[in-house]
Amino acid sequence: MDPTPTLADPAAAADAPPAVGSTPLTAATPIVLAVRGVSKAYGGVHAVSDVTLEFPTGTITAIVGDNGAGKTTLIKMLSGVVHPDHGTIEIDGQPIRFASPAVARGLGIETVHQDLALADHRDVAENLFMGRELTHRIGPFGILAVERMRSQTQRALDDLNVKVPSIRQQVRRLSGGQRQAIAIGRAVHWGSRVLIMDEPLAALGLHESARVQELVERLAGRGLTQIVVSHNLDHVFRLASRIAVMRHGRLVGVLAATETDHEEILRLIAGLGPSRSRPDGAAVG
């Protein structure tokens, strides 16, 4: 993710045009997660300003923008790391305040960070249950239920069609794509309704990127809502069904991936507006 955003010009932000195409896909599509009018400032730094964005069930929304656009701060609000100064976060239409990331996870919002947060010297099963280990009692003692965790790990990976040599293998010996799949599988295993991923295809080869892409698409088909943060537009167009563009802390566009192209996204990131080929006033997204 980009670092904490730098100072945006308050006057420019105030004069910024409203976001284009910021309506849900269809009126009938359930909105599992939404932010409405959220803002966050760090002293005089306006990191996020009056952003309203909905995440319909089963969609893959990419959030893009230059460094300092506000992507990181928005994602931190969605995952409970920071609280908005103004505005609301909603789950299933109900306003909610995340007291901590643990509360967000308990409500089904999981995050897969770019570093994956895997323990390299632990095996696959230990990583899947890290911090949530299963135990059984022997007298006054709690003993790790190792075989039960391994059994559940194998079932979870089989269900997602994730292939690894062995769930007993240390994660450090797995390929980049397998490690990414383990991190995603861990999030899904714990019942996530919304999965946030930071640069999920970074540092992966073409074959491994394709396998992760297939996994993301399968999860979307099951109704999992996914949010992808990436600087790589090639990755964005491979993964996303919707693209939300941020600039200087504001949402400047939400577009259907099939109805836009690299040039238009770059124009929005640079503050040049939507593609010249669009008729004036045409809806986007």
CATH number of the domain enclosing 233: 3.40.50.300
Dump strand ranges (E) for 57-173. 60-64, 86-91, 94-96, 109-112, 135-138, 141-144
At residue 277, the pLDDT reads 58
Please compute Rg for the chain using Cα positions: 20
For residue 12, tell me if it sits in a domain: no
Total domain count, the chain: 1
| pLDDT surpasses 80 at 64 | yes
Tell me whether residue 143 is in a domain: no
Q: What pLDDT score does 194 carry? A: 96
Tell me the mean pLDDT in the region 254-268: 95
Q: Give the range of the structural domain holding residue 77, as residue numbers without chain letter.
A: 30-118+191-269
Question: Is 245 within the bounds of a domain?
Answer: yes
Contact 134, 144 (CB under 8 A): yes
| Dist CA 183 CA 274 (whole Å) | 35
Question: Using CA atoms, how far apart are residues 153 and 125, in angstroms rounded to an integer?
Answer: 6
Its pTM stands at: 0.81
Distance (Å, whole) CA 248 – CA 195? 25
pLDDT tens-place string over residues 208-256: 888 899 999 999 999 999 999 998 999 999 999 999 999 999 999 999 9
**Cβ–Cβ under 8 Å, residues 187 and 132:** no
What pLDDT was estimated at residue 285? 45
What is the model's pLDDT at position 207? 86
- CA–CA gap between residue 69 and residue 7 (Å, rounded): 10
| pLDDT exceeds cutoff 50 at 159 | yes
User: Tokens 């450090």 label which residue?
Assistant: 172
Assess contact for 19 and 69: CB atoms under 8 A: no
Residue 209 lies inside a defined structural domain of this protein: yes
Place of tokens 């570093």: 115
Residue 37 lies in a domain: yes
Does residue 24 sit within a domain? Answer: no
Q: Is residue 158 part of a domain?
A: no
**What's at 125, amino acid-wise?**
A
Mean residue pLDDT across the chain: 86
In a domain, residue 64? The reply is yes
Query: Which residues are within 8 A (CB) of 217 and not within 5 positions of it... i.e. 6 or more apart?
Result: none
Helices (H), the chain: 10-14, 71-78, 101-106, 124-128, 146-159, 176-189, 206-221, 233-239, 262-269
